[in-house]
Chains A and B, each alone.
Chain A
Amino acid sequence: MQKITQKQLDKMLSQCFQEEARRVEVPSSKKLWADLQERLESAGMQQIEEKLVQLQQAPPKKKQVFHKVHNIFWRKHKYLTGLAAACLVMLIISLQVAPSSGMSNFVQRFLTFMGTEMSTKPALDDQNFSSGTLKMKTEDAVQIEESGEKRELPIKAGERAASLPPPAEGAVPQESAEAESYSLFIGESPDQIFSVQEEISGQKEGPAQDQEHEEQGRGLGQEQDPGQGFAQNAMLEETLQESILYDKELFFSELNDCKDLAPEKIWRIDSVPEGFAFNEAVIARTDTFLHSVSQKYTNEEDKVISLSQKFFPSRVPEDTQLTTSGSLAHPIQVGLYSGYIICEENGIYTITWKQNNSIVALSGQLAEKELFDIIDALIES
């Protein structure tokens, strides 16, 4: 299974939101401003205007800009800095405790590049520095004089100038130390020329970027439904069979048989208010596709609760109207789907919502809350 990387996900989400936002038809802000203005006037619009003018005249805060830059820098480099600090500590410790070995040379070179000022103890073995002179050919290069017992690794050029003894014989002259290269010369043997950049780049190979190690969720199922992929025209050419079922158990059994033909789960009513009982259900299907399912519950007063679900072989078109013109519809959120609730003059409420591949409608001569409870208790077949 190909994992979606963090970068891919970020890009997809960004693009998706931008595209979605472009599609949004924004109403005229002029008309809405008039509405808002009325409210603001009662809340003291003149004072608000004055505050706004004050804000507009206030100078920008430089400190915050610095703070932001500072934060960005540390956020970006925190791992590298931490790694470098850890390496430095380790190296200092190993320098203090390790016996003289080839490692000491590396330590010195590394510390030299890092520009860290430190003085090694005279007790350390000098044999690896016997070549006499260590020079770094950069502006901030460090010069190590081995002519005496004292070795110093000053950080800055200014400090170096003040602290360095006169150049010993064979040392690189001060002027020639100004160079672009970050090469480090140890002694005079060409074999001992190392590229500091190479060494440091090796050190930089630390922890990877801030990757979220997320547990891969279980697969969402990969089976293709038999009903998928059929063109709607082809489907319509097939014979539509309508089954009217008066027995609840038989209805459930039929639903179970044809659920694979539906492109989406089929809802059925599980709980109804007291006094209601199953009346009938209609299943409309072809051999390859479940077209619609409707179920009806009634009570002794002939009040009806009905749930119908119409399926689409492909996605429900965006412009599908859920409401009839003239009806008083209020938008409603049904689970994660948008829909409408309509109250007709005879007191019948209808809640309609659009899913991915189906439109569902629940109606009944009940209180709004009772219908909500039925929706809450819907179960899939």
Chain B
Amino acid sequence: MPSNSVALTPGLASFLKSLKTNPIDTSIDDLISLLKRRQIRHSRSCATATAYLMRSVISATRTSDANKLIERVQYVGRRVMAAQPREMVVGNIVRRVLGLIRDEAEDDREGDFTLSEAGSESQPQTPRALDDPSEVLSYRHDGSDRSSSRQPFTSVSATPISMFSLLSHPEPETSLPGTPASASPSGRLLGHSHNKDIRAEVLDGINEIIDELGQVDDQIAAYALEHIHSNEIILTHTSSTTVQKFLLKAAAKRKFTVIHAESYPNNHEATHATVSGQAPKDDDMLSTEAFQKPLIALGITVILIPDSAVFALMSRVNKVILGTHSVLANGGLVAAAGTRVIARAAKVHQTPVVVVSGVYKLSPVYPFDFDSLIEYGDVSKVIGYEDGDLVDQIDVQNPLYDYVPAELVDLYITNLGGHAPSYLYRIVSDHYRKEDIIV
């Protein structure tokens, strides 16, 4: 495909290209419209686009004040998230960037503390001894003032206490109890004048996130040999690259059989292409995947079936491996429509269901309203234009996603390893700060 046509089709590639030249506000609007028009839609594409945008936002924000930085990121994040609330990875990336800034700000505080107040380490416990809850609640926010003036309450900084900090434990999750930093009440004003390179640190952190997005599939695939054994029959669904890489990794060492449900009508073309090893032409996904060998080239027998045959074949399947759209904190997941019946059929047949997903898809959202998570797609894929008369008379539905409850999943494999669904909330709290759960 010639390069100019790549630039013409709006998508991830064109966005990343334009990011370097366009002013930042244009880029933000650009991404918002791309998300709204679903021109960037896969989880990873969304995550990558958001991460790059955040990097540009941070480098374009001429401030060293962490609070202002956070405000700016929150502002941009809210807008981008509102553009496509169902792409939860966008919010995940924003939250991680916010967390990075807060961490860096706290590290600075810590560093500051160890430099300037190294001698006062005997004192840290004093404010904690106060059992006044308001004191405890507010100390991180007004801590800097106390560190200088040692006043328990200051009107200036106590006012912007957010509602979240009311609920959150006073200690930041990341810092270990017992260390001077956490034990110390002496927080510093975020982005104090001598913390100049906070932006550089944050940018480094974002680069790490971007790297993680690039490597996540390979990291997950590294666990493949633990889970796929010789002569097993694996059932999968959709053309998820994460699943494909996972299977390919195992295929290098072992022989097994893959049954692939085609996920008609939303993903069948990509699935057919994946199965037969012909690279999809119009994909804006990373180009390296186009060069990937299909499973059949490695001598793996792949059986393509229509979605309806899943139950019929499930009695012969040893393991179901599923990709996902996003994972929720309660262990449930939002995945391509049809996943739920597959997981349910597997449960009925006592077949283990394994979900492979990068940690970046893990969302700190608890689903109370499942319907709000579901996106509905193009109806013409269900009933074509040749049956136009029918569309006038009947209500045609094409849901894109299914909510799969946690009890249908046996195991999650992320780039951090394998986890039970009930453990996911722990990984969530490792990756996102409580104050960022609602951006």
Q: Do A and B bind each other?
A: no
Interface residues of A (CB under 8 A from B): none
Chain B positions within 8 Å of A, measured between CB atoms, are none
